[in-house]
């Protein structure tokens, strides 16, 4: 069965992202034929990239890198949930992406972002990073402005019209994830 990770890309105390990620997980879990799981980066404390050779070489030496590689490899696709910090994504998510390489290849990703401008600039950066990691990104994304989707800028209160938008995003993600299966099967050969 296809398994997709919803990657919560913020570890900040009091983060808004946990409510957002759980909302996406709730909507995704109602779907059939695909399993969705939450991967909270707070549960995977990763040091800054500390491998002696580039991750693209696949020669991981540290146990924390090998453990993270096993987590990433388990999934066929990803939904990245990210805030926008200083016109980009979080350092912790960028580091998690940078730490391994082949485990991300030939998979698909979608994005759910939040921030003062809906987090769209964070997603722009993530799309560039994903391309280098050979992750195919889908067009549909969810951008959540703090002023309209969060009461007092902190309590997540999603609008009803967002539910079908999440459905469209997940439809695209599932289709692309399945389309890339032959490429991933070639990775196992």
The correct answer on CATH 3.40.50.360 for the domain covering 2-188 is yes
Sequence ranges of the domains in the chain = 2-188
Indicate if the pLDDT at residue 189 is higher than 50: no
Nearest-CA neighbor of 48 among 67, 70, 65, 66? 65
Q: What pLDDT score does 45 carry?
A: 94
Nearest-CA neighbor of 138 among 118, 102, 166, 99? 166
Q: What is the sign, positive or negative, of the torsion defined by CA atoms of 171, 172, 177, 181?
A: positive
pLDDT tens-digit map of 43-56: 999 999 999 999 99
pLDDT tens-digit map of 24-80: 999 999 999 999 999 999 999 999 999 999 999 999 999 999 999 999 999 999 999
pTM, rounded to two decimals: 0.96
What are the residues whose beta carbons fall under 8 Å from the beta carbon of 112, sequence distance 6 or more? 20, 21, 24, 79, 80, 81, 82, 141, 142, 144, 166, 169
Q: How far apart are CA 98 and CA 84, in angstroms?
A: 18
SS3 150: strand
Q: What pLDDT score does 20 carry?
A: 98
């Amino acid at each position: 069965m296809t398994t997709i990770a919803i990657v919560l890309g913020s570890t900040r105390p009091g983060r808004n992202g946990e409510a957002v990620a759980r909302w996406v997980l709730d909507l995704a879990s109602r779907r059939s034929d695909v399993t969705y799981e939450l991967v909270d980066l707070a549960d995977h404390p990763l040091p800054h990239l500390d491998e002696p050779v580039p991750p693209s070489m696949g020669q991981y030496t540290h146990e924390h890198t090998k453990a993270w590689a096993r987590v990433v490899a388990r999934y066929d696709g990803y939904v990245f949930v990210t805030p926008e910090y200083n016109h980009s994504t979080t350092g912790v998510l960028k580091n998690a992406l940078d730490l391994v390489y082949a485990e991300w290849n030939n998979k698909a990703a979608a994005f759910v972002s939040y921030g003062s401008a809906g987090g769209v600039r964070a997603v722009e950066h993530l799309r560039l990073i994903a391309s280098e990691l050979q992750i195919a990104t889908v067009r549909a994304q969810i951008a959540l402005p703090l002023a309209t989707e969060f009461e007092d800028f902190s309590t997540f209160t999603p609008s009803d019209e967002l539910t079908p938008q999440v459905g469209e995003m997940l439809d695209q993600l599932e289709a692309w994830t399945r389309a890339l299966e032959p490429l991933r099967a070639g990775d196992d050969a």
